[in-house]
Amino acid sequence: MNKKMLLSVLIIAFVGVAAVGTWANYVVSAESTGNTLTAGELGIELNRPSQRAFAVNGIIPDSKEQIEYKHLFFSEDEYFVNIRNTGNIPGQLFISSTETSAVPSLEENVKIYYSTIPNDPNPIEITGTPVDTGVVLNGGAFRPLYFWYSYKNVDSAIQNNEMGETLNVNMNFELRNPETSESTIPGA
């Protein structure tokens, strides 16, 4: 190829690149300002009968080899706790308990149970590990939980040692934000 032809090709290529580089495109834009994202709030409030804890005196072991669920009573009424979400987002309710006694066998033989149903024949045992109650409370909503106890009948020598001893029970209620998916997020 001769020099003139090569020079002509290079000039045509340069003019083509220069023409593309100067080509006009329209661009418009708009701005949305003042947008905010605020974290939701979970809050919990417990309401109990007369705002008092339950105290059961004179409990006795169940019938041999049979667990009997006994309501926890407060005066004339059964004991319950109204749990209210004082926040503004839904909260999944979890419950756990800690039991202590001077006689460790009392902790093993007496169990505490809960249910969302006042006369549930099969309430759920409360353990030291938080258990999901299956209850979701929206902001401002409340739900009562009802409570029972059982006292397992074991060897009389062990239970004679438990006579007159006290089991202290602390119940812990937690609201956690429930697992969400895109289909449950507002505006998704």
Closest CA to 145 of 157, 137, 155, 156: 137
Confidence label for 156 from pLDDT (cuts 50, 70 and 90): confident
Confidence label for 184 from pLDDT (cuts 50, 70 and 90): very low
More confident residue, 63 or 86: 86
Residue 78's pLDDT is: 78
Amino acid at 138: N
Residue 22's pLDDT is: 58
Residue 36's pLDDT is: 93
Residue 146's pLDDT is: 92
Q: Would you say residue 162 lies in a domain? A: yes
Report the number of distinct structural domains present in the chain. 1
Structural domain harbouring 80: 44-178
Identify whether the C-beta of residue 115 lies closer than 8 Å to the C-beta of residue 146. yes
Q: How far is CA 116 from CA 20, 68, 71, 123, 132, in A?
A: 73, 18, 13, 9, 12
Whether 12 has a pLDDT exceeding 80, the answer reads no
Residue 188's pLDDT is: 39
- Segment 62-74 shows an average pLDDT of 81
CATH number of 152's domain: 2.60.40
127 Cβ contact list (under 8 Å, min separation 6)? 96, 97
What single string gives the DSSP state of each residue in 138-156? -TT-EEEEEEEEEE----H
Share of the chain above pLDDT 90, in %: 54
The chain-wide mean pLDDT, for the chain, equals 84
Q: What are phi and psi of 183, to 5 degrees?
A: -70, -20
Q: How far is CA 5 from CA 2, 9, 10, 18, 96, in A?
A: 6, 6, 9, 20, 89
130-155 confidence digits (pLDDT tens)? 999 999 999 999 999 999 999 999 88
Q: Would you say residue 107 lies in a domain? A: yes
What tokens were used for 110? 């007496």
Identify whether the C-beta of residue 81 lies closer than 8 Å to the C-beta of residue 45. no
Q: Would you say residue 37 lies in a domain? A: no
Confidence label for 113 from pLDDT (cuts 50, 70 and 90): very high
Closest CA to 53 of 97, 13, 8: 97
Q: Would you say residue 55 lies in a domain? A: yes
Predicted TM-score (pTM) of the model is 0.75
The mean-pLDDT minimum among 26-30, 33-37, 48-52, 114-118 falls in: 48-52
